[in-house]
Amino acid sequence: MSKKMLGDIMREAQKLQSEMARLQEEAKKKTVEATAGGGMVTVVANGGGEIISIKIEKEVVNPDDIEMLQDLIIASVNEALRRAQEMVNSEMSKLTGGLQLPGLGGLGKLL
């Protein structure tokens, strides 16, 4: 491989790395929402894997059934994080043309 080809490859890799960093920052600004219990618990997460908000309807708060509320919170948080990961994966796929690059599989684990 010639020095010029290697230099071109390195420039493209740096360009891709820069673009990925930009997408990561943009993903943190985007949000997804998930609900559980027919909308009784709503969770909003961002593309950085952070929970932004949790809304719990007062009808679901029953001191005699805390386990149900805990289950609804877990279900909605997990779904929100799954949707956030899908969003990030979709954006990264656009950047890489669907190509799975080594070391970027972890990127799907919320950057």
- Extents of the domains making up the chain: 3-109
Mean pLDDT of the 23-32 span: 89
Mean pLDDT of the 74-98 span: 88
In which band, very low, low, confident or very high, does the pLDDT at 99 lie, cut at 50, 70 and 90?
Answer: low
In one letter, which amino acid is 23? L
CATH class for the domain made up of 3-109: alpha beta
Mention every residue, 6+ apart, whose C-beta is less than 8 A from residue 56. Answer: 40, 41, 69, 73
Q: How far apart are CA 44 and CA 79, in angstroms?
A: 10
Q: How far apart are CA 46 and CA 91, in angstroms?
A: 13
In which band, very low, low, confident or very high, does the pLDDT at 98 lie, cut at 50, 70 and 90?
Answer: low
Is 45 within 8 Å of 32 (Cβ atoms)? yes
Q: How far apart are CA 29 and CA 24, in angstroms?
A: 9
pLDDT (tens digit per residue) in 34-53: 999 999 999 999 999 999 99
**Beta strand residue intervals within 1-111, DSSP E:** 31-36, 41-46, 51-56
- Estimate to the nearest angstrom the gap between the alpha carbon of 26 and the chain centroid: 11
Please report the pLDDT score of residue 109 as a whole number. Answer: 47
